[in-house]
Structure 1
Amino acid sequence: MRKMNLKHIVSAAALAGMVTAGAVQADELHVLNWKGYGTDEAWATAAFEAKTGHKVIHDYFNSEQEMLTKLRTNPGTYDVVMINAAFTGQAIDEALIQPIDVGKISNAAGLAPEMARSELLNAEGAAYGVPWVWGVTSVAVNDKAFDAPPSSVEVMWDAAHKGKVVLRDDALEAVQFAALASGQNINDIKDLDKVRDKLASLMPQIRTFWSSENDWNQMVAAGQIDVGTYWSGSASRAKTSFNLPVTFVIPKEGAIGWLDGLSIPAGAKNAEGAHAFIDFMIAPDFYVEWDQKVGAPVSANLEAVAGLDETAFNRAVLGDPAVAARIQFQKPVSDEDREKYLKLWQELKASSQ
């Protein structure tokens, strides 16, 4: 037998490593999402990997605009992306995502029909997004500051809570919240001056503008805030995962509803794994465990919601038709309106400093 010198051994090892790396890379599944938002739960990804053999690798964004930029500048990098449905149409128009073969997603049979057929997720007879979870942006309170939960958004303007009110640093969300507070349709704001005046009168109440779930939770834990805008799923996690004294409220004026879908980017290298991952993520088994262990928004899968305890917030409260009737779901916003909202928001923040 011919002996191999050290150079040959190293070369052979390197070649073997390259082959192995190539095999692993073919089975990788790259997911783009908010950090800590369901798809990256360690117990869930471990179960998915064991079931399918696809290794899940995450990348994250901090805003919808950053998500779109990552899809534009990194074609072929991602296999699954979580998109707020109000932005799915833009992703379709820019050819950033591809049609999904819903026939490969068995758990799609349990999806709420109105969400599965939503014009926000479908175009020209093709599905570009599978509805995953939905929730609301509304008011959450520090239980220690209230004898009973408030019934109106006007609690944000109550002088008793001055300096202990927070608002998310997001122009669209702030404007839509003020539209609700001024009795307007968030998707058809007729009187922007009224919105401006409502927000301007709120500024003296504000302690700070929050940007992350962690910011909000830390301030509540420190007793620094009484009330503020928050997301339903985040409020649920605050109680479930961190045992914080937080109650989420759907006031009489209503709340801002949002729908998040899972899509497959154009040029995805692992479309097969993407379909399997989406199927796993909308499954009742995953959802019930996610909500019970961590706290989650409401599943778009009716069978998953039915699997929750009857007293669970996502079933008992958000599943109440009377509550649902007060929720206004976000629709796409034109670039022109976004620019107006951003300008208004920046002016208000500057004047409050």
Structure 2
Amino acid sequence: MLTQLILAVGLAMAVSAMCSLLESVLYSVPLSRIELLSQQRPYLGKTLKKLKQNIHRPITAILTLNTIANTAGAAVAGAAAAVVFGEQHLVWFFAAFTLSILLFSEILPKVLGVTYCKTLAPWITLPLHWLVKLLAPVVWLIQGATHFLGGGPGKKTLISAQEVAAFAAIGQESGAIDAQEVKVITNILELRHQRVREVMTPRTVTFTLDAGLNVGQAQKFAQKWNYHSRVPVYEGETDNITGIVLLKDILLRAATDQNQVRLRDLMQPAHFVPESAPLTRILLDFFELRSHLFVVVDEYGGFTGVISLEDVLEEIVGREIIDESDQAKDMRELAKKNVKT
């Protein structure tokens, strides 16, 4: 009977400790570690990511096994202890048993799991995966009951934009990243809330050219070309933007004495974007279309301004991007002044 008591206590504590370790590692392992594991060991990384994304399933399996182990272990150990120590000493046995479970099967494994979650993550992935499969009927039953009672897990993002910003701030405090890097991260997160109309160059200060002009005539605007490498071209009315002409194409034709070539023959197709579009979408469009300048239109299709890739990048870095050809720190403000004068 003493052997039965030792086995019951040992097995209950071991299973409970394993459950505590699995739970703490699963909760504590960061997504960055999971992504790194996916690159190094794709199968383990993919499996762990799936467990993390549907965390209610492995947690249900862990709690189920832990409850079974503690309940069965206490029942078997209690019966054996009554024979070995006598019923009059059962209260002392259960006090010692409960304290041992608390210390060695709850607190210690969870502390170890949180502390060494990155190291232990690859080792707990497959056992946890098979535990979920083994207890799948129980997990399904409990989830069904929870959903029926209105407490379903629902869809939830593993990490929010606010948490990313908080992690960046923590990284700055620890010295892992500097203030400028934190600013860039924060600005990137804010892009989805910013609209094209907030950063575009308005139509009133946008330099445009008539598509009917030839290269020779376009060169008469040399002072304007000092501020622009790409210019919207209109046909007839200034609202009717039909394309974009590049300064390099005009200079190339001028250098080869092709001054009679019309701008409409040199222009490239213009890409139109709504002024209400978020900057995140516009940034992707710039890269996908391999373009540097978009024409901005309102809800009625009217020309309201232009936005450049540089405008979006300036919002990310939080400062004006100045190259050797710029004559002022803020070229948009300079354009406004030139229009007034």
Structure 2-normalised TM-score? Answer: 0.23
Q: Which has the larger radius of gyration?
A: 2
Higher relative contact order (CA 8 A, sep 6+): 1
